[in-house]
């Protein structure tokens, strides 16, 4: 079964600190790696995504680092803010297969003032 | 903006009842998905549909069925609800992927409690 393993399950970071969430995958056919952000009472929403032909993608304070040989990718949130407190899901999908997305188990991030 | 709506935010049903969860998207997306979300387990795919009247089993289809009679509407059916189906149910849609992102757009979820 295709899996995406995510850690940690929960994370507490002080305001201004760096939040780091890690994911690992097994299936080398995956070619799209998104991160979703979910606030309480809301559905997940796409935050940032990367393809395996680049090693890093940055959008504002959010950066994805991608290591194709290790089959790992991570989300870094710089200068973390209380408004970043949410649950984050990494995911992976492949071309074809009706665009099914395999999600990680989620990381609940709390940024404390 | 893409909008995915779900018929109920909260639902309480009794064991053995037949339960219908409705999802509607307004962006003419080909693909629609039903997930359940449980703490520590993430999002698990129940069923998906890539076209009207077409459906495919996801990772945990047991105890569920689906219906897609119109492109914009995707229904999840619990034939005989059980307590282990108490969960948050999320509907999502995505366009047919030609290039670029494979983004899924989610509804707000339905929290179902089966007593």
Among the partner-chain residues A43, A104, A105, the one whose CB lies closest to the CB of B109 is: A43
Please check the confidence at residue B100 and state whether its pLDDT lies above 60. Answer: no
- A99 to B41: CB separation less than 8 angstroms, yes or no: no
A residues 43..82 contacting B (CB < 8 A): 43-46, 49
A25-84 pLDDT, tens per residue?
Answer: 999 888 889 999 999 999 999 999 999 899 999 999 999 999 999 999 999 999 999 999
Upstream peptide bond of A8 is cis (omega within 30 degrees of 0): yes
SS3 for chain B, per residue?
Answer: CCCEEECCCEEEECCCCCEEEEEEECCCCCEEEEEEEECCCEEEEEEEEEECCEEEECCCCCCEEEEEEECCEEEEEECCCCHHHCEEEEEEEECCCCCCCCCCEECCCEEEEEC
Question: Is the Cβ–Cβ distance between B58 and B48 less than 8 Å?
Answer: yes
A100–B45: do the CB atoms touch at under 8 Å? Answer: yes
Q: How many CB atoms lie within 10 A of CB A2?
A: 15
**Do A43 and B59 make contact, defined as CB atoms within 8 angstroms?**
no
Q: Of the ranges A25-39, A47-61, B66-80, B96-110, which one carries the lowest mean pLDDT score?
A: B96-110
Residue B103: the pLDDT is 85
Residues B48-67: what's their mean pLDDT?
Answer: 94
Shortest Cα distance, chain A CAs vs residue B63, angstroms: 20
Q: What is the 3-state secondary structure (H, E, C) of chain A?
A: CCCEEEECCEEEEECCCCEEEEEEECCCCCCEEEEEEECCCCCCEEEEEECCCCCEEEECCEEEEEECCCCEEEEEECCCCHHHCEEEEEEEECCCHHHCEEECCCEEEEEEC
């Amino acid at each position: 079964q295709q899996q995406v393993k995510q850690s940690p399950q929960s994370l507490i970071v002080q305001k201004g600190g760096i939040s780091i969430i890690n994911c690992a995958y097994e299936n080398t056919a995956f070619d799209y790696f998104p991160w979703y952000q979910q606030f309480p009472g809301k559905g997940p929403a796409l935050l940032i995504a990367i393809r395996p032909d680049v090693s890093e993608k940055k959008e504002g304070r959010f950066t994805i680092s991608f290591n194709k040989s290790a089959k790992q990718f991570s989300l870094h949130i710089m200068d973390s803010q209380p408004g970043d407190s949410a649950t984050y899901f990494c995911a992976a999908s492949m071309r074809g297969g009706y665009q099914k997305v395999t999600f990680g188990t989620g990381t609940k991030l709390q940024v404390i003032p | 903006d893409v909008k995915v709506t779900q018929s109920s935010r909260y639902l309480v049903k009794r064991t053995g009842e037949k339960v219908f969860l409705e999802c509607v998207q307004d962006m003419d997306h080909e693909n629609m998905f039903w997930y359940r979300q449980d703490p520590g387990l993430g999002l698990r795919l129940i069923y998906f549909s890539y076209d009207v009247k077409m459906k495919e089993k996801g990772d945990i289809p047991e105890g569920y069925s689906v219906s897609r009679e119109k492109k914009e509407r995707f229904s999840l059916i619990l034939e005989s609800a059980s307590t282990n189906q108490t969960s948050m149910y999320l509907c999502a849609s995505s366009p047919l992927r030609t290039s670029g992102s494979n983004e899924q757009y989610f509804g707000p979820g339905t929290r179902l409690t089966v007593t």
